[in-house]
Amino acid sequence: MSFGLTPDGFVPKSLEDVLNDVVTRQRADLGPDIDTSPFSVLGQLNGVFASKLVELWEAGQELYDALDPDMASGVQQDALYSLTNTLRHDAKKSTVTATVNLSAATTIAAGDAVASVQGNPVARFVNVEPMLNPTGAPANVSVLFESEEVGPVVANATTLNVIETFIAGWNSITNAEDAALGSFVETDAAYRLRRLSELAAAGGGTVNGIRADLSRLPDVVAVAVLENVTDVTTADGLPPHSIEAIVRGGDAQAIGESIATNKVGGIQTHGTEPPVTVVDQQGESYPIYFSRPDEVTVFVAIDVVTSAEYVGDEALALALQAATTNKLDPAYLDVGTDVYSGQMVRVALRVPGVLNASVGLSTTAISDPDAGEPSIAIASRQLAIVLPDNIAVAEFPS
């Protein structure tokens, strides 16, 4: 067997391989009768030497993996992907604009005011700008708050109303809108997928390039592009030599113009939406067709074993929804993407206080995971939708 750099990649030696090499060399140089058994002095020394030598082989494997986009992780992945200007997304804190009531002539410095979500004292937010009421009477003031911790800290409308730091002149707080959820540091898996998407965007005219550009449009949350390069209509109705973009969200005109800019000349567009009129560089107008996905409502029944740190059923349901709609999350559901219970379990285990989880899926309402299915197949023109109201959570404290 070949070791080191081979036509199939890097093959490291194991501890057993290294130890056998050492013993073979010793017997060849010192005689076949020397005692190299594990309990002899020489055998003990061989074990020490071999364990240090195998560390070099492991370092060689790590160096080789650091140059492979599909294997690199951590700081090695950061360095490798920076060569194509794809940088890892940092963690972000959740933010919310709150309305605070201040007494007359009250000034509170940024970072001094802390409030928490009703019923969830660990969801704490701090003011990132001063709280000022220079008038001679009590007044409501809009102030930006951010979560103390990074990640998706939930603060639904009107729930950020508990004052944690009692400061003279600060009378109350509330929030009219839900907090904008933050995120954790982008995972290696999500980072890898995003790099592939960004690289594809440079390949204008390809299906992947068209899809990548469409996914970057404002408010576009899911995209698929079907292609038929044959001379006959496909079984699912796509005409010969045509493409069909299936897009959820986004402005129709912007979608049409993006498709027109990227598609190859002579390729027709197909879709069920009213055509978008696009004007080319010669001033000629022509229609661009595309489709909206058929939405499939997915019901989730999830049983969770929890600890004292559990943040609540509502936060869990929102985390599941957020993951399925976040393009950078491994659980993201794109057009035509099947749904698996394992995706939901992995998301649940990221929620503080969740120790274990079991999930069942269905296209009708269920409350027991055993009544659901482990997966739901989604057709090429469909999009699975997971909403918090369709997630039934049963909590079992440990």
Please tell me the pTM assigned to this model. 0.51
pLDDT along the chain (398 residues), means of 10: 82 91 90 89 91 91 84 86 83 95 95 96 96 94 96 94 96 95 89 76 67 87 90 89 92 92 82 90 85 95 93 91 86 92 93 93 95 94 93 91
For residue 60, the model assigns a pLDDT of: 87
**Per-residue pLDDT reduced to its tens digit, 112-158:** 999 999 999 999 999 999 999 999 999 999 999 999 999 999 999 99
Token readout for 123 is 């969801």
CA-based angle 246:250:255, to the nearest 5? Answer: 60
Spatial neighbors of 238 by CB under 8 A, at least 6 apart, are: 226, 227, 228, 244, 270
Check: CB of residue 240 under 8 Å from CB of residue 231.
yes
- Any idea which residue has 């950061």 for tokens? 78
- Output the CA–CA distances (angstroms, integers) from residue 149 to 119, 240, 349, 350, in the order listed: 17, 53, 18, 14
